[in-house]
Amino acid sequence: MTEFHQLTERQERILAMVVRSFIETGRPVGSRTLVEAFGLDVSSATARNDLAALGELGYVAQLHTSAGRIPTERGYRYFVQKLLGEFHLPLHERQMIRHQFHQARLELDQWMRLSAAILARTARSASFVTAPQARANRYKHLQLIATQGRLVLMVLVLYGGEVKQQMLTLAEPLSQARLSAAADRLNSLFLDMDSDEVAARAKAGHLDTLEEEMSRLVVDTLRRTDYQPISDVYRDGLVNILDDEGTRHVVRLLEERTLLASVLADTQAQGGEGVQVVIGGDGRWEELRDCTMILSRYGVTDSFSGTVAVVGPTRMPYDRNVAAVRYVADLMSGFVYEYFAQEPTEARANILEQSEVETDRDE
C-alpha cells in the first residue's frame, strides 16, 4: 500500500473537494471556488496555502501558475484509501441489476456477458469479467469413446464444467466395452482429485497398461490446465472511453492476455480480498498509465473464482464504480456457489436471495 504524508483535517477536506469537483467537471479547482462555491469556512489565502502544501506533497498539481489545481495519481490514491467512505448504488439501480440477472437463463456464459455489460453501463466505462477457474483443477469424469480402428476420443470433464477432449491412437484396437471398463475404474479412483493426487493414486493403484496410459494423459491435461493464467475474458464498454487519452492503454490491457494475467496475479497476491483500486498502474505497470482499474474477485475464493472489473480514465466516479463492482461481484459469487452446488431450479430460487434481503432492509 502507498505510504502517505499525514494531512490535517482541513487539508483532507480540501483534497476531497478538489478530487470530487475535478471528477464532475474536468476543470481545475482554485482557492476562490473552494471558499465561495463549496463553502469552505476559511479565507481564500488560507485555502491557497493549503493547496500549495498539497502540491508540495504531490497530491495536487497546477498546470500553470494562474490555474487551479487538479488531483495527481497520488491524490486519487489518498482519496480512495482514506476519504472515499462507504457508498452503495441507489436502491432502484440495485433492483434493476438484480432483475436483469434474475431474468437471465442459468448459463455461465450468459451471466459472464451480462455482468460485463451491466458494469460497463453502470460505470460508463470499459469492463471485463474473467470466467471462474478452479485454483487447482480437479478430476470429475472420464469417457473413452471408440471411433475408428485404433482411434479413441478421450473426454475429460473437470469440476467447474470445463471439458477437455483429445484424440488418441492406441497400439491396438480395443472394444468399447474394454474402454468403458477402464474409464469406470479411473472414475472410481480419481474422483475430485487434483493432478498431484491423481499421479500418486495411479502409482499405487495397480493399474493395467491402458489405465496407466490414460492416467498419464489425465495428469498431463490437469497440469496444463492449471498452468493457464486466466480463463475466458468477457469485455464490454470500450466505446464509453474512446475519447479518453488512456484508451490505448485500456485496449492493450484487455487484448494482451499475458499482461492482463500478470496484473491480476499481482493484485491478488497483494491482498486480493474485496474491492481493489489500481490507479495509474500503482507504479508497477507503465502500461496502465492514465488508467484506473477497479476489480474484485468473485466466487468461492479458495477453490473456484474469477474477476470482475471496471477499467477507465483516472478521472472516474470512484464511489459509484467501487459500489458497482462490489455489488456485481456479490451477485456473481452467489451465482457461482449455486451453479455448482445445487440443481438449476433450486439455484434460480436461491442465487439472489441474499441481495433481496438487503433490499428489503433498505426499504
| Class of the CATH domain delimited by 91-132+231-362 | alpha beta
Does position 335 have pLDDT exceeding 50, yes or no? Answer: yes
For residue range 97-110, what is the model confidence (pLDDT) as tens digits?
A: 998 888 876 677 88
pLDDT at residue 51 in the model: 94
Give the mean pLDDT of the chain. Answer: 84
| Class of the CATH domain delimited by 139-227 | alpha beta
pLDDT at residue 319 in the model: 94
Residue environment code for 301-338, b if the CB has 16+ CB neighbours within 10 A, otherwise e: eeebbbbbbbbbbbbbbbbbbbbbbbbbbbbbbbbbbb
pLDDT at residue 229 in the model: 59
For residue range 82-101, what is the model confidence (pLDDT) as tens digits?
A: 999 889 999 999 999 998 88
Structural domain boundaries in the chain: 9-83, 91-132+231-362, 139-227
pLDDT higher for 257 or 44?
44
pLDDT at residue 3 in the model: 75
For residue range 49-80, what is the model confidence (pLDDT) as tens digits?
A: 999 999 999 999 988 766 789 999 999 999 99
pLDDT at residue 59 in the model: 95
What is the Cα–Cα distance from 349 to 338, expressed in whole angstroms?
Answer: 9
Q: For the domain with range 9-83, which CATH number is right: 3.90.79.10, 3.90.25.10, 3.40.50.300, 1.10.10.10?
A: 1.10.10.10
pLDDT at residue 238 in the model: 85
pLDDT at residue 343 in the model: 43
pLDDT higher for 241 or 70?
70
Q: Average pLDDT of 118-144?
A: 88
pLDDT higher for 280 or 155?
155
Q: How confident is the model at residue 222 (pLDDT cuts 50, 70, 90)?
A: confident
For residue range 150-201, what is the model confidence (pLDDT) as tens digits?
A: 999 999 998 767 789 999 999 899 999 999 999 999 999 999 898 889 999 9
Does position 223 have pLDDT exceeding 70, yes or no? Answer: yes
For residue range 318-333, what is the model confidence (pLDDT) as tens digits?
A: 999 999 999 999 999 8
Does position 29 have pLDDT exceeding 80, yes or no? Answer: yes
